[in-house]
Amino acid sequence: MVAAHPTANSTPRFTVAPETNESPIPKKFKSSSVTDTEANSRNQDSDRPMRVNPHNLREFEDIRALLERSTPFPSESCSIPLGEFDATNSEETMKFLHEECQMLIIGAGGLGCELLKNAVLSGFLKIHIIDMDTIDVSNLNRQFLFRERDIGRSKAECAAAFIRAKMRHLTSLEITPHVCRVQEMDTEFYRQFHVILCGLDNIEARRYVNSLVVSVAEEDADGELDPSTIIPLVDGGTEGLRGQARVIIPRVTSCFECSLESFPPQTSFPMCTIAETPRLPAHCIAYAYLVLWARNFPTRKFDKDSAEDMQWVYQQAKERAEQYGIAGVTYNLTLGVVKNIIPAVASTNAIIAAMCVNEAFKAMTYCSQMMNNYHMHMGALGCYSHTFVYEKKSDCIVCSKQANQVLWLNDASITLKQFIEQELCGPQFRLSRPSISTGRMNLFMQAPPSLREATSANLEKSMAQLVSDGDILNITDGVFASGVGLSAQIKFRSN
């Protein structure tokens, strides 16, 4: 059993829960409630106007009620026991949520806005939020933390500023925005957090975050998992009227990579990803279809069966792609994207965000059993939901202890380039920019440019020229965090 609160002198991490009736929450925590007199005094002394809140005495009354009452279903009674719940220590738990618990929210779009709002209203007052995108006019109908004046500004910064302004009576509230990609922050940045909430709209970034939390979960000298290094990850996703929420306890439950096969290659594109700074050819196509067409032909409906209309979108998408240095816009891709755009639905975001924050709250307070471990919400034909256990994959390339994958090659004459495209970037591993080496040499390296140039000649050589039967390939890729990679043993099938 592990506990999600730090010891007095530790970094914010899990600690082993005592096998006693004592609370696993440190005794150093004190009540974070303030009196009306104190609130009014702060209001008078502050240069910034403060709204007088009559509930400052018991700011989180509803949350506190959950922590003051005993329950037959605490964390220690479930299949993922994180610690022991003690209702007599509710004030200490509230203090922990307000002052100590560090939360990271990744994504400040439709789902991320809901996550941030729910987290603060649930008592999490030390929050970091990451998003690289800027606000577009098409976001305003569902991303409720933004206003028309915010168009063109950073999502992370505007979301943080909005919540700080609305909740300024919470004097200990700290929301720190980061305008960057998740891959740009080093591992030490992520180690500071107690829990991470993901509201990402693409598989690649979610794979990266998953590999990162798995990589920092370390083993002790006896080969046992060190609970003080575990960072729970709660992942949420929506697509139209469907959504999912998932709890990942690194190296304890299955990880995101274990179920990668359940995500088919992307053929539909969430609305919230296409109107901001484009990163993919599909984003450029969707922008031309949804934004530029309406701007240029406000009274004419787009005809998906018209070759002339489709050609116009294709040409506009090519121009936008060239503007941002994106390759890969084709007429066939334009057809596929235009016919598979799925609008984001605000109500679905609200449902999934509530699930995710609820699981984070349970993980940090032990007040109830955590979900084990995957929940599906399907609202297209009514309201149906289903919770089930995603089992760990025995040969998962991220979280399993299996030393090597075995890759059988039927044809040793295929080139390294073909091997990368068919095997590594194929449906089994779905890598994007793999670098490959053996114990003897670098076969192909994506970076730095000098090393890529030096190894690119190997792409046209056959596998038989480069490796021998039984050789181990060490493979890294941008979809994985530093230190996480794939080891694969090459085996040639005899003719």
Positions annotated as catalytic residues are: 272
Computed on alpha carbons and rounded to an integer, the radius of gyration of the chain in Å comes to 25
Give the whole-angstrom CA distance, residue 206 versus residue 485: 16
Contact 488, 475 (CB under 8 A): yes
How far is it, in rounded angstroms, from Cα 462 to Cα 118? 55
Cis peptide before 448 (omega within 30 of 0): yes
Residue with tokens 């010891």: 7
Cβ(112)–Cβ(199) below 8 Å: yes
Strand partners, 442: 437
Determine the Cα–Cα distance for residues 361 and 340; give it in Å rounded to an integer: 36
Sign of CA dihedral 298, 303, 306, 307: positive
Q: Which residues, 6 or more positions from 97, have their beta carbon under 8 angstroms from its beta carbon?
A: 63, 122, 123, 124, 125, 364, 365
Give the relative orientation of helices 155-166 and 110-121 as an angle to the nearest 10 degrees: 30
Asked if residue 436 lies in contact with residue 474, where contact means CB atoms within 8 angstroms, the answer is: yes
For residue 299, what are the contacts with CB-CB under 8 A and spacing of at least 6? none
